[in-house]
């Protein structure tokens, strides 16, 4: 689809009314914060990443994997996966940091009966399945996780959900409700704390994580919606190997004993936080180094200043409140811009906007 630029007058009004009011770090001046529609008419775009040549690869929850070549306006469908969409479907996507040599791309998807991790290979512009490297991860209509990313150690990290069976999150014999650390063949990475694929446990639904400049891993976490009469308490967590993050023994803010407390939890506010990234680049000014993530229920981007050791989250700033409704994932492009996706198609309230779903590009100019 063609890339649609928002007219300058509308953009300036957007910046002044909807950014400055809630986020004082966005200021008018010689350099303006700009926003454009990068792709539209999508079905819940989720996993996103850039190939070494600058081409943009992204997937849609109902099974499409698309390629938008650098400097081209349109994108092409390059693979379709037979998935079982609901809250599951085609979710995370990770491009191998050694892609130029091995040509690997990894996806996390829901098929009939379970979730699985699949290794794809792109050669001569053709994407094909190379191997199913891990299958049998419990699946359900809700709580399938979806975060998938290579860490700074070169291993692949995967966030799974509790598949609506909360007790599985505490079961270290189950892959549900966990963050997994894997090699490229889906095996346990060396040094894992339980001599298994599990890196951490006690998670309800992990849809995003990233590492700060000091290598500290921060994950977003969905709090309860009705289980045990509990509500809300979405979390940001410092992820450390072997730790138990409490679900379903406790919700955010009520952890005790050996359970690991969140570095931030929302109380009775609901975010439904999803994909996240740490912002890089001096052009972002005071945003540089902040964690930014999409919020589905709260319909905004949320930023935090995370301390170097990952133990504190401060100076919360909310941006684009309600402008594009439910926001799913966010990644940073090689040119420093931020690309984030909406997740409105398939939801009754609020109804999708015209041309949804979309991927937006936010940048300084």
Q: Rounded distance, CA 117 to CA 261, Å?
A: 29
DSSP 319: E
Q: Is 129 within 8 Å of 120 (Cβ atoms)?
A: yes
pLDDT category at 262 given cuts 50, 70, 90 is very high
279-312 pLDDT, tens digit per residue, is: 999 999 999 999 999 999 999 999 999 999 999 9
Q: Rounded distance, CA 86 to CA 143, Å?
A: 10
pLDDT exceeds 50 at position 38: yes
Q: How many domains does the chain have?
A: 1
Average pLDDT taken over every residue of the chain:
92
Determine if the peptide bond prior to 52 is cis (ω within 30°).
no
pLDDT exceeds 50 at position 47: yes
pLDDT exceeds 80 at position 19: no
Provide the CATH number for the domain around residue 65.
Answer: 2.120.10.30
Q: Is 251 within 8 Å of 221 (Cβ atoms)?
A: no
Segments forming the whole domain that contains residue 100: 4-364
Report the pLDDT value the prediction gives residue 260, as an integer from 0 to 100.
Answer: 97
Report the pLDDT value the prediction gives residue 244, as an integer from 0 to 100.
Answer: 98
- Beta bridge partners, 115, equal 110, 137
Residue 234 CA to its chain's centroid (Å): 15
Q: What residues have CB less than 8 Å from 163, skipping those under 6 apart? A: 138, 139, 140, 143, 144, 176, 177
What global pTM score does this model have?
A: 0.93
Q: What residues have CB less than 8 Å from 91, skipping those under 6 apart? A: 46, 47, 59, 61, 107, 108, 109, 110, 144, 145, 146, 148
pLDDT category at 86 given cuts 50, 70, 90 is confident
**Mean pLDDT value of segment 130-151:** 97
111-138 pLDDT, tens digit per residue, is: 999 999 999 999 998 999 999 999 999 9
* Cα distance from N-terminal residue to C-terminal residue, the chain: 23
């Amino acid at each position: 689809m063609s890339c649609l630029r928002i007219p300058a007058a509308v953009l300036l009004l957007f910046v002044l009314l909807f950014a400055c009011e809630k986020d004082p770090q966005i200021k008018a001046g010689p350099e303006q914060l700009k926003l454009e529609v990068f792709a539209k008419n999508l079905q819940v775009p989720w996993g996103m990443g850039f190939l070494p040549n600058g081409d943009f690869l992204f997937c849609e929850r109902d099974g499409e994997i698309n390629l938008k070549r650098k400097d081209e306006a349109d994108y092409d469908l390059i693979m379709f996966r037979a998935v079982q969409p609901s809250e599951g479907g085609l979710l995370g996507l990770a491009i191998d940091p050694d892609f130029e040599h091995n040509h690997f791309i990894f996806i996390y998807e829901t098929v009939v009966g379970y979730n699985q991790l699949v290794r794809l290979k792109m050669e001569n512009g053709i994407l094909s399945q190379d191997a199913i490297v891990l299958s049998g991860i419990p699946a359900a209509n809700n709580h399938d996780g979806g975060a998938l990313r290579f860490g700074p150690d070169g291993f692949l990290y995967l966030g799974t959900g509790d598949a609506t069976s909360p007790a599985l999150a505490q079961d270290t014999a189950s892959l549900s409700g966990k963050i997994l650390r894997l090699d490229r063949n889906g095996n346990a990475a060396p040094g894992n704390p339980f001599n298994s694929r599990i890196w951490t446990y006690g998670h309800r639904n992990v849809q995003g994580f990233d590492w700060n400049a000091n290598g500290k891993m921060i994950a977003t976490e969905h709090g309860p919606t009705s289980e045990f009469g509990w509500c809300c308490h979405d979390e940001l967590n410092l992820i450390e190997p072997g730790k138990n993050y409490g679900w379903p023994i406790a919700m955010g803010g009520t952890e005790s004993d050996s359970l690991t407390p969140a570095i931030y939890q929302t109380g009775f506010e609901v975010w439904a936080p999803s994909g996240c990234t740490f912002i890089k680049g001096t052009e972002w000014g005071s945003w540089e180094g902040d964690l930014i993530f999409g919020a589905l229920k709260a319909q905004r981007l949320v930023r935090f200043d995370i301390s170097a050791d990952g133990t504190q989250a401060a100076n919360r700033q909310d941006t684009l409140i309600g402008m594009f409704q439910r926001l799913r994932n966010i990644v940073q492009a090689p040119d420093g811009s931020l690309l984030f996706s909406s997740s409105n198609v398939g939801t009754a309230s609020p109804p999708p906007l015209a041309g949804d779903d979309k991927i937006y590009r936010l940048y300084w100019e």
